[in-house]
Amino acid sequence: MKKPSRRSFLVQLPSGIAALAFALRSPRAQAQSAMTIPHTSLIEPAEAAAMLRKPNAGRWKILQVGFRSMYEQRHIRGAVYAGPASQPEGLTNLRSAVSGLTHESPILLYCGCCPWSHCPNIAPAWNALQGMGFRSVRVIEIANNFGDDWVAKGYPVA
């Protein structure tokens, strides 16, 4: 078998990049993007922090759907670790975390592992909860990361 030349590799590279770009635009990839979560389901960190300081804050089920190391370092006070929703075991943990709730129960999701547009966990978690019939799910839109957009601002952590 003839070894491909550097020139043939460089000629084929643009078509490979185009195929990758097409795959990333596929409905499955788009369905897992944080950018697909409806604006009406999003809440800014400052608004979420203010909401969680109110006397009725305990009614919210707060779920961290990012990585365990992040949760162990700092997490929103009262949050439950549900696991990274980008992984099958994370989605299993998420389903378990909400198993005793009614479909009207208020749920607050957050991740904060990386910039919002690149988060691998938040959209799969939101999509899973929507698929399970939950109607009161809000998502904290963490623009950069949890450390900068929550902890550094002095919002409640444990």
Per residue in 82-111, pLDDT tens?
A: 999 999 999 999 999 999 999 999 999 999
- In whole angstroms, what is the distance from residue 129 CA to residue 96 CA? 11
What integer best gives the mean pLDDT of the chain?
85
Q: Which of 60, 51, 118, 57 is nearest to 86 (CA)?
A: 118
Laid out side by side, the sheet with 80-81 consists of 42-43, 137-140, 107-110, 61-64, 80-81
Could you tell me which residues come within 8 angstroms of residue 86 by beta carbon, excluding any fewer than 6 positions away? 32, 120, 121, 124
pLDDT band at 32 (very low <50, low <70, confident <90, very high): confident
pLDDT band at 72 (very low <50, low <70, confident <90, very high): very high
* Residue 10 vs residue 59, higher pLDDT: 59
- Model pTM above 0.85: no
Domains of the chain, first to last: 31-151 (3.40.250.10)
